[in-house]
Structure 1
Amino acid sequence: MSQKIITAENGYAELDRWVKENNIKKLMLVCDSSLQFLTSINEHLPEIDTEMIRFDDFQPNPLYESVVKGVDIFRSSGCDGIMAIGGGSALDVAKCIKLYSNMKGDGAEGGYLSQEIVPNSIPFLAVPTTAGTGSEATRYAVIYYQGNKQSVADYSCIPETVMFDPSVLRTLPVYQKKSTMMDAFCHAIESFWSVNSTDESMGYSREAIKIILENMDGYFANDDAANANMLRAANLAGKAINITQTTAGHAMCYKLTSLYGVSHGHAAALCIRKLFPYMITAVDKCIDKRGEEHLRKIFGEIAAAMGCDTAEKAAEKFNEIFGKIGLEVPKMRSEADIDILKTSVNPVRLKNNPVGLDVPTVEKLYREILGE
């Protein structure tokens, strides 16, 4: 599916045009609490020539029940378009509302989760408010039902239009700017070396890495041009993982987030800074069907995208960036943490990793990740 990218230039003229061209009479606005801080777009919303139904009754790591409520409002209000403004949670909720809006029933007792997804043509525009998750470019959404993670996946939930508005990044807290940028960086690197990589996905990864490195300083200085470029990089990295899925870096990072209270992108970067140099030395454990030479070539291409002569120097550069932007390394609190971490890793994601990782290796990496 091709995705149209529009900008916020000229007073959101392209957004207004999208509403008009799709003949939207009632637009459901799915947004999170960050919207109140986004002065530019917030001030423009009342000027859009359509009735707007706002839905923000959800939490981070959104619940299935919240999506059901959103679907009910979408239907009962007669909405005919969806615009999502926010981070990953807002986009996930909007994706699921789109997917479930034409399903049978009211979704009670998990009803939507068991039905076959039938694609629909509801106009869907996304405005990502972080340059990190790339959720606006992927077919995945995550919600929770009865305490269990539900991974929803279908190409028809990808927004057909995305608007890059650099002003939304101006008020993003510095720590979030750091961690979301590193999330996009990790997406690009992991997709590049994934066993599922293709020429197309590697093209997205290569471009994303270059844009991130070229715009990092301007992004942290809140330069609008750099912010716009970073949004583009996150989108490209999202397109890459939409093809390949993530690998060991993400498989290993999730429990670090809950155990040590670090954000997702921070946790992913903690893992990649130790995984990358290890994998370079363990090419003989390659499980990619394309073989060891292919993997060496890929490491070399990642290095080239990062402006380095060798893979070793690229791994060093990644670690230097981690330190330069001031992300901290949490210290291991107890041996019990290692036991929890090594049993938390998603084996499906490990299958996407080009180097095989057994339990002792995962344990060794976690000890290094936690500064032991």
Structure 2
Amino acid sequence: MSFRNFKMVDYVVFGRGAFNQLDEILAPRRKADAPMIFLVDHFFQGKPLAERVPLRGKDEIIFADVTYEPKTTQVDALANSLKEKFGTVSGVIGIGGGSTMDLAKAVSLMMNNPGSSADYQGWDLVKQPGVYKAGIPTLSGTGAEVSRTTVLTGPTRKLGMNSDFTPFDQIVLDPELTKDAPVNQRFYTGMDCYIHCIESLEGTYLNEFSKSYGEKALQLCQKVFVDKDYWDDESDDQLMMASYAGGMSIAYSQVGVAHAVSYGLSYLLGTKHGIGNCIVMNYLEEYYPAGVKEFKYMVEKNKIEIPEGICKGLTDEQFDTMINVSLGMKPLWENALGKDWEKIMTREKLRKLYEKL
């Protein structure tokens, strides 16, 4: 058996107010005449957080429109415009939710790799390290701050740039940054973490490494969404650590059915990742009975509306597009259903599942 030798984030700082150290953290990474580029979720335009970004010299803040998840075209346009304007940059700093952090990782890689980001969608296709990159989450749950992938929607598929060059060089985990997150959004990203823990812990790829992190992340999600009747600072701290541990758990395992199916939704319909996972999870009793039961309890307890009927009226061609994208996620299906997954999850069965959503 061969063991994965995986790359982790080089430096991690955790704590309330840690964002205030950003200037000091970036100082040794600055190169003469090469600016730091801060990719910030457009949610923060005109808000106090944007004013706290430590700009020096030619540094720039680019407010990233993450209404939809990152596309390869968006990554390429950003990287090309930075190359034209500056030649090179000292680093790319992503401040926001999973989409903003994925965008930052991808732009960093494309500063030093030729062609289009679509050429690197897959496993271990990136050949050169990117420029320095740091991730600062303002939402907790996606695990994008620690993962070795940056998930992009390309011309033909939704697939990550999975490589050892993808993880951040530095992450700043400051729970204070998540406190103003809209309630629904906080729930959807929190459930992204919960769902990938369920998928990882019940998958065939599981070992003690992923199990240890996955169990801890799951426990923290339960503390926040099941045990508590109110939201406080401790909830923000716990969910941020759940996101980190959940991301770590996937490093050595894989996600499963909910993620594989939701990739199809986001590719065709532009459904955001967290909400897409929730829409799918509602119908997965056959695969994760206990997880789905608890998930439904959390939805009810937290008074969250999960959209329904989003696949009504789709054409056969549109269903086929989603099915093709979903079945392309081979490692996810194998983790969920084992080596013979193709006999279990047929196109017909997947179509029936999509029709329920």
TM over 0.5: yes
Residue segments in structure 2 that go unaligned for 5+ positions in a row: 1-6
C-alpha distance in 1, partners of 2:113/2:30? 23
Secondary structure at the counterpart of residue 197 of structure 1: coil
2:222 partner amino acid: L
Identity of aligned residues (%): 20
Q: In structure 2, do the counterparts of structure 1 residues 358 and 314 end up closer, same or farther at CA, with 3 Å as the change threshold?
A: closer
- The equivalent residue for 1:211 is 220
Matches within 5 A, 1:82-161: 82-104=92-114, 107=115, 117-120=126-129, 122-146=131-155, 148-161=157-170
Contact 2:40 2:61 (8 Å CA) reproduced: yes
- The equivalent residue for 2:305 is 327
Contact 2:37 2:61 (8 Å CA) reproduced: yes
Matches within 5 A, 1:157-306: 157-216=166-225, 221-256=230-265, 263-275=272-284, 277-279=285-287
Q: In structure 2, do the counterparts of structure 1 residues 209 and 55 end up closer, same or farther at CA, with 3 Å as the change threshold?
A: same
Q: Shift of residue 209 of structure 1?
A: 0.5
- The equivalent residue for 1:53 is 60
- The equivalent residue for 1:302 is none
Q: Shift of residue 67 of structure 1?
A: 2.0
Q: Shift of residue 211 of structure 1?
A: 0.9
Q: In structure 2, do the counterparts of structure 1 residues 144 and 18 end up closer, same or farther at CA, with 3 Å as the change threshold?
A: same
Q: Shift of residue 231 of structure 1?
A: 1.5
More helix by share: 1
- The equivalent residue for 2:74 is 66
Contact 1:195 1:353 (8 Å CA) reproduced: yes
2:36 partner amino acid: L
What RMSD over aligned residues (CA atoms) do the two structures have, in Å?
3.6
- CA offsets 1:279-304 (integer angstroms, 9 cap, x no match): 37xxxxxxxxxxxxxxxxxxxxxxxx
Matched, 1:36 2:36: no
Q: Report the number of matched residues.
A: 333
Residue segments in structure 1 that go unaligned for 5+ positions in a row: 281-311
Q: Higher Cα Rg: structure 1 or 2?
A: 1
**331-340 or 146-155: which moved more?**
331-340
- The equivalent residue for 1:22 is 29
- The equivalent residue for 1:340 is 319
Contact 1:219 1:230 (8 Å CA) reproduced: no
C-alpha distance in 2, partners of 1:211/1:9? 18
**95-104 or 341-350: which moved more?**
341-350
Q: In structure 2, do the counterparts of structure 1 residues 182 and 51 end up closer, same or farther at CA, with 3 Å as the change threshold?
A: same
C-alpha distance in 2, partners of 1:152/1:119? 13
C-alpha distance in 1, partners of 2:117/2:178? 38
1:22 partner amino acid: R
C-alpha distance in 2, partners of 1:243/1:177? 26
Q: Shift of residue 190 of structure 1?
A: 0.6
Secondary structure at the counterpart of residue 112 of structure 2: coil
